[in-house]
Amino acid sequence: MAAIEMKNIVKKYGDGFPAVNDVSIDVADGEFMILVGPSGCGKSTLLRMIVGLEDITSGDMLIGGERVNDLAPRDRNLSMVFQNYALYPHLTVYENIAFPLRLAKWKDKDIDEKVREASKTLDLDEHLQRRPANLSGGQRQRVAMGRAIVRDAKAFLFDEPLSNLDAKLRGQMRTEIARLQKRLGITTVYVTHDQTEAMTLGDRVAVMKRGELQQLATPRELYEQPVNIFVAGFIGSPPMNFLPATVEGNEVTLPFGTFTLPAEKAERTAGKGLLMAGVRPEHFEDVSVAGAGSVDESRTFTAHIDVREWLGDQQYAYVPYEAEADVQGQLKELAREVDSDSLRTQLVVSLDAASQIKEDDDATLSIDTDKMHLFDPATGENLTVGL
Amino acid sequence: MKNMRGTIGTIVGCALILIWCLLPVAWIISLSFKSQEAVTVGSPGFFPSDGGGAGWHNYSDVLQDEQFRRAIFNSIGISLIATVLSVALATLAAYAIARLEFAGKKFVLTTALVIAMFPVVSLVGPLFDMWRTFGIYDTWPGLIIPYMSFTLPLAIWTLSAFFREIPWEMEQAAQVDGATSWQAFRRVIVPLAAPGVFTAAILTFFFAWNDFVFGISLTSTENARPIPAALSFFVGADPFNRPASLLAAGAVVATVPIVVLVLFFQRKIVAGLTAGAVKG
């Protein structure tokens, strides 16, 4: 077990394009670190640099205090689970798991002990003599994990290990990985583009975009205090709503109306022209559910509900609004960066399941401006971080 | 109804192709069981006429012939050595071509193809002169070398196609698991490419075993003369009356190793061995 330190890591390909640009991340001993970002953000490249499958252009990679930049993968003593599992099809499950130990020239008796222990942990006992071709996706995934845990590696590296499983199995394996990591207490770096995995598994999460580290924080901090508009839009599902806003005095003007803003937020943002306001769907509520008296009148507005999705425990409502062309362009750009599509400018609000709002009808909603973030549209920086 | 007609069509088609391919083979076998006299007199039937059958007589004659036994030994030895060397070299070359980026990769592949297209006959003259100068005329190496140079291109092309099919992650996983590049190659890549290796081996062996031009031009004694060449020298007692039934028996004996080899390796050429390596 060991800590992994990345110092100013840069990866440039032949054409000079920096796939990873000046990234510094410290993974503490025993920590579960998540690398997350849209496709092409360099997270997998960074992982492959840790394990040694990719050369490091500049910067230092330290594992357990030792600089490993020039060590071959086999000398780094890390174990890795590949996205497509990369099991050896000509070997049985037993031999697949035993493979690293055979290479290390262990005695047969010790190998047997270790393999049986791993197979018991992963519930693979009855499959040991089968070949990978005859296993289901989830079983293959467990064999890949078995091969990783069988030797005493300094750290585990996961490269989108669950992306090939169906949704139900993914949920089960996610819990399984979390449990295993807690029990073994081993340093883990986990690459994913799935934010549920990122939020639930990680002690800390590193959000990357186009090769650069955007924010490195706990899942809660990422969700509540995103440092910029990219992190705000990437973390959370459904994503944060972005609305054009201007702040004058203590009031913020949104396409739906003008609302009072907490003094601290107003102070930092007043008079800065057109800003981007970010409000999460759950920071809206149906006034009729909350009870008319309990809501501050100055924070309510009337909206036309276009579509409503009832999910049982909650419901989403969609409220389209008109925006100026440049704001629309900016929102489109943002959507592209986080790998999603926005067809129209609309507000997504998450309402209480008890709300009786009807589709194609007007409703009175409240907005929680205490939780609102305001972003500089030019730099994307969060002007209200920490408040 | 339509399905039924399709099945019948398939059966008829297969039967036609089988008859077309196997009739000459069947005729050779039939010939090899007829006595020399019956053949000379003219025995048009497929089965030997009364008193015209020779039983296993032709076969025992052929196998007792020192020249013939020597030729069989030469053929097996030369073909096997050429196959092993060719496949071993081709495996390494094909791996480099499939996996590594190096200057001149295209050149190697194109040259290999050009060599494979070169007419064999045009090389016989120069080789004859060269081999006599080098002193390897009428020796095993004198045949092994040209066989290798003509089979290597095919083997390299076949194998590099197979190597390209193997997911690169296999090798990377092996390296992360603690394997050196050589160990990853030996313990993961080669076993996965086994069907390709066997395919290349069979093709190489066929070429070497069936070659006649080199066999007859680059040998002068039974020191290195392979079977196809030896059969053409098989004249028997009367040079004007060639022993057709003996020759037929010899041809059948020469075919047996190839058939055995194919049946043996056919089981090894299992397609889809890589299934289950990755998702799916």
What string of H, E and C letters represents the secondary structure of A63-83? ECCEECCCCCHHHCCCEEECC
Question: At A274, which amino acid appears?
Answer: L
Determine the structural domain holding residue B213 and report its residue range.
65-233
Q: B135 in the Ramachandran plot: left (φ > 0), alpha (ψ -120 to 50) or beta? A: left
Question: At A117, which amino acid appears?
Answer: E
Highest mean pLDDT among A212-221, A269-278, A352-361, B95-104: A212-221
Choosing among B101, B165, B171, B176, which should be mutated to test the A contact, i.e. which has the most A CBs within 10 A? B176
Asked whether residue B140 is assigned to any structural domain, the reply reads yes
pLDDT at B275 over 50: no
pLDDT for res A293: 65
Choosing among A50, A54, A68, A88, which should be mutated to test the B contact, i.e. which has the most B CBs within 10 A? A88
pLDDT at B84 over 90: yes
Q: Is the peptide bond before A238 cis (omega within 30 degrees of 0)?
A: yes
Asked whether residue B205 is assigned to any structural domain, the reply reads yes
pLDDT at A274 over 70: yes
Relative to beta strand A32-36, strand A187-192 is: parallel
Query: By a Cβ cutoff of 8 Å, what residues of chain B touch chain A?
Result: 167, 169-170, 172-180, 183, 188, 191-192, 194, 273-279
Nearest by CB: B191 against A90, A100, A134: A90
CATH number, domain containing residue B156: 1.10.3720.10
Q: What is the mean pLDDT of residues A352-366?
A: 86
pLDDT at A203 over 90: yes
Which chain A residues in 121-140 lie under 8 Å from chain B, judged by CB atoms?
131-135, 137, 140
pLDDT for res A271: 81
Mean pLDDT of chain A: 88
Nearest by CB: B176 against A78, A87, A140: A78
pLDDT for res B274: 44
* B218-245 pLDDT per residue, tens: 888 888 888 888 888 776 666 666 778 8
CA distance A249 to A251: 6
pLDDT at B50 over 80: no
pLDDT for res B268: 63
The model's confidence at residue A336, banded by pLDDT at 50, 70 and 90, is confident
Our count of domains for chain B comes to: 1
Q: What is the mean pLDDT of residues B123-142?
A: 90
pLDDT at A155 over 50: yes
ipTM, interface predicted TM-score of the complex? 0.80
pLDDT for res A224: 92
Asked whether residue B259 is assigned to any structural domain, the reply reads no
Cα nearest neighbour of B274 on chain A: A89
Give the number of other Cβ atoms within 10 Å of residue B170's Cβ. Answer: 23
Cα nearest neighbour of B195 on chain A: A90
Cα nearest neighbour of A105 on chain B: B178
pLDDT at A10 over 60: yes
The model's confidence at residue A330, banded by pLDDT at 50, 70 and 90, is confident
Asked whether residue B2 is assigned to any structural domain, the reply reads no
User: Chain B residues with CB inside 8 Å of A87's CB?
Assistant: 173, 276-278
Contact state of A164 with B279 under an 8 Å Cβ cutoff: yes
Tell whether A73 lies on the interface with B, counting CB pairs under 8 A.
Answer: yes
Q: Which residues of B125-140 are buried (b: 16+ CB within 10 A; e: fewer)?
A: eebeeebeeeebbbbb
Cβ A233 vs Cβ A241: under 8 Å? no
* B174-202 pLDDT per residue, tens: 999 999 988 998 898 888 888 888 888 88
CA distance A374 to A276: 6
Asked whether residue B175 is assigned to any structural domain, the reply reads yes
Q: CA of B103, closest CA in chain A: separation in Å? A: 16
Among A159, A153, A155, A149, which residue's Cα sits nearest to residue A81? A159
Tell whether A51 lies on the interface with B, counting CB pairs under 8 A.
Answer: yes
Q: How far is C-alpha B28 from the geometric centre of its chain's CA atoms?
A: 20
Contact state of A100 with B273 under an 8 Å Cβ cutoff: no
Q: What is the mean pLDDT of residues B51-76?
A: 83
* A41-84 pLDDT per residue, tens: 899 999 999 999 999 999 999 999 899 999 999 999 999 999 88
Share of chain A above pLDDT 90, in %: 39
Q: CA of B166, closest CA in chain A: separation in Å? A: 10
pLDDT at B59 over 50: yes
Helix (H) or strand (E) holding A303: strand A300-305
Nearest by CB: A132 against B176, B177, B277: B277
Please give the interface size between A and B, counted as residue pairs whose CB atoms are below 8 Å apart.
85
CATH class of A4-226: alpha beta
pLDDT for res B276: 45
Asked whether residue B81 is assigned to any structural domain, the reply reads yes
Nearest by CB: A99 against B169, B177, B279: B177
Mean pLDDT of chain B: 83
pLDDT at A261 over 60: yes
Cβ A35 vs Cβ A206: under 8 Å? yes
Q: Structural domain boundaries of chain A?
A: 4-226, 230-375
Among B112, B271, B265, B274, which residue's Cα sits nearest to residue B190? B274
List A66's β-bridge partners, or say none.
A63
Q: What is the mean pLDDT of residues B250-272?
A: 74
pLDDT for res B116: 79
pLDDT at A314 over 50: yes
Q: What is the pTM of this model?
A: 0.77
CA distance A88 to A81: 13
Alpha-helical (H) ranges within chain A are 43-51, 93-103, 108-121, 137-149, 167-184, 195-201, 219-224, 229-234, 263-269, 287-290, 325-337
Asked whether residue B206 is assigned to any structural domain, the reply reads yes
CA distance A329 to A34: 31
pLDDT for res B1: 60
pLDDT at B272 over 50: no
